[in-house]
Structure 1
Amino acid sequence: MLNKLSNTIYYLSNQDNNERPTLGLVCGDSYSLIIDSGNSPQHAKDFLLEIEKLNVPPVKYVVITHAHWDHFLGMNEFDATVIVNSQTNEIIKEWQSFSYDDRSLKSYVNTNQMSAMCMNIIQTDMPNRNSFKLKSPDVIFEKTLTIDLGNKVCILEKIKSTHSEDSTVIYIPDEKVVFLGDCAYGTTTNSLFHFKQSLLLPMIKDILKYNAEMFLLGHESICDSTEMDIYWRELTRSSQVVKSSSLEDALECFIVENKRDPNNNELFFIKAFVNDHIIQS
């Protein structure tokens, strides 16, 4: 079932058990725009069935927030203009060259081109896929793009991100809503989960320049500005005490600077920033 954020914005909540991220729908007077196409054709079909229950203008655009498989593998199901930034497009090109039969999928997992989770979702949600080919995006932008849906403007921007190098956010000014995709999360490199420390403050600056009151995230669904402020403070506070790959030094620094032990979130973030130092070294 779609969640109604306002008279013109809806979203399908994330489902962590089967790696389905939040999908968004923004409606203008003339057209509608979708944010992320889902982790499989079945995910996209489920979303489209929910949209059909609403009396909204036709879907003209689909925006992909970044080129991680769970956000774009449903792309073929939409009869709409698919929009990506240029870096996302380059990554999707690799997936367009893939074959999706079982043997090929297993080879991609073995060579770390695809996760085992991705393979399992594809095998479950795409039973007839031997001839499947991912289609090409239709519109490629570099830094920013503004879409007018009819008295409803959506601002697309490629921003710095601790999650991926190709992150796009979508801001709807009159609603004070921003779709962040996964940009505010960390990432995993060499089996280590980490936040890219050098990009943390530039990313927060990029996001906070928008006058947003509600934030749609890929794997939390929705947060208000108070929740996001807490998240930014905990991330920043944790980052400030990590200056090397020593967890012990970071924890000692945190206690000295804050006169308390870190809470569970802060401890998780501190470990992630320490991992970033380990990876960088």
Structure 2
Amino acid sequence: MLNKLSESIYYLSNQNDKERPTLGLVCGDKYSLVIDAGNSLQHAKDFLQEIESLNVPPVKYLVITHAHWDHFLGMNEFDAVVIVNPLTNQLLQAWRGYSYDDRSLKEYVNSKKMSAQCVEIIKNEIPEREAFQLHSPDIIFEKSLTLDLGNKACVLEQIRSTHTDDSTIVYVPDEKVIFLGDSVYGTTRNSLFHYKKSHLLPMIEDIQKFDAGYFLLGHESICDLDEMNTFWKELKLASEATETTSLEEAIECFTKDNDRSPNENELFFIKAFVNDQILNSQKA
């Protein structure tokens, strides 16, 4: 069921048990825009069925926020102009060359090109997959693009991110709503979940320049401004306490600097920033 944020903005909540991220819908007087395509054709069909039950203008545009499979594998289901930034397009090229038969999928898991969960969902939710080939995007924008849906502007912008280098956000100025995709999350490398400390403040700067009151996230659905400010504060405090590859030292530093122990979220972030220090030390 679609959640209604305003008369022109809706979203389909994330389903973590199915690895389904939040999908967004912005409606103008003439056209509608979709944010992210879903993790499979079935996910996309479920979303489109919900849209069909609304009295909204036709979907003209589809924006992919970044090239992680759970955000784009449903794109073939949309009869829309697909929009990506250049790096997302580059990363999607590999997926356009993949085959989706059982043998190929097994090889991709073994070579770590796809996760086992991704392959399971492909098998269950993409019918006739042996002939499946991902479509190509239609518009590749540089840095920023503004779309007019008919008395409803949407600003697309590629931002710096702790999650991927190809993160695109969608901002709706008159509603003060911003779709962040997964941009504010950490990422995993060498089996270590980490937050890129060097990217944290630049990312926050890129996002906070937009006057937003509501934030749509890929795997939490929606946050208001107070919740987002708390999120930023916890991330910053955890980052400031972490200058070492030792978790114990980072926790001790946090406790000394803040006259308290870290809460559950802050401890999670501290561990992720420590992992970032470990990964950076391995590159040195």
What is the TM-score when the length of structure 2 is the normalising length? 0.98
Question: What RMSD over aligned residues (CA atoms) do the two structures have, in Å?
Answer: 0.5
Aligned to 2:23: 23
SS of alignment partner, residue 130 of structure 2: coil
After TM superposition, list the pairs within 5 Å mapping 1:197-276 onto structure 2: 197-276=197-276
Runs (5+) with no aligned partner, structure 1: none
> 1:228 is matched by which residue type in structure 2?
M
Aligned to 2:145: 145
Post-superposition Cα deviations, 1:36-68, rounded to whole Å, max 9, x if no partner, equal: 000001000010000000000010000000000
Once residues 79 and 264 of structure 1 are traced to their aligned partners in structure 2, the CA distance between those partners, rounded to angstroms, is 43
The question of 1:121 aligning with 2:121 is answered: yes
Once residues 73 and 64 of structure 1 are traced to their aligned partners in structure 2, the CA distance between those partners, rounded to angstroms, is 10
After TM superposition, list the pairs within 5 Å mapping 1:98-177 onto structure 2: 98-177=98-177
Q: Report percent identity of matched pairs.
A: 68
Post-superposition Cα deviations, 1:223-257, rounded to whole Å, max 9, x if no partner, equal: 00000000000000000010121112111111110
CA-CA distance at 1:127 after TM superposition: 3.3
The question of 1:189 aligning with 2:175 is answered: no
Once residues 49 and 264 of structure 1 are traced to their aligned partners in structure 2, the CA distance between those partners, rounded to angstroms, is 38
What is the TM-score when the length of structure 1 is the normalising length? 0.99
Post-superposition Cα deviations, 1:139-177, rounded to whole Å, max 9, x if no partner, equal: 001200000000000000000000011000000000000
Judge which range, 243-252 or 74-83, deviates more. Answer: 243-252
Once residues 154 and 251 of structure 1 are traced to their aligned partners in structure 2, the CA distance between those partners, rounded to angstroms, is 42
Once residues 199 and 2 of structure 2 are traced to their aligned partners in structure 1, the CA distance between those partners, rounded to angstroms, is 33
Runs (5+) with no aligned partner, structure 2: none
The question of 1:48 aligning with 2:25 is answered: no
SS of alignment partner, residue 131 of structure 2: coil
> 2:117 is matched by which residue type in structure 1?
M
> 2:33 is matched by which residue type in structure 1?
L
Aligned to 2:61: 61
Aligned to 1:78: 78
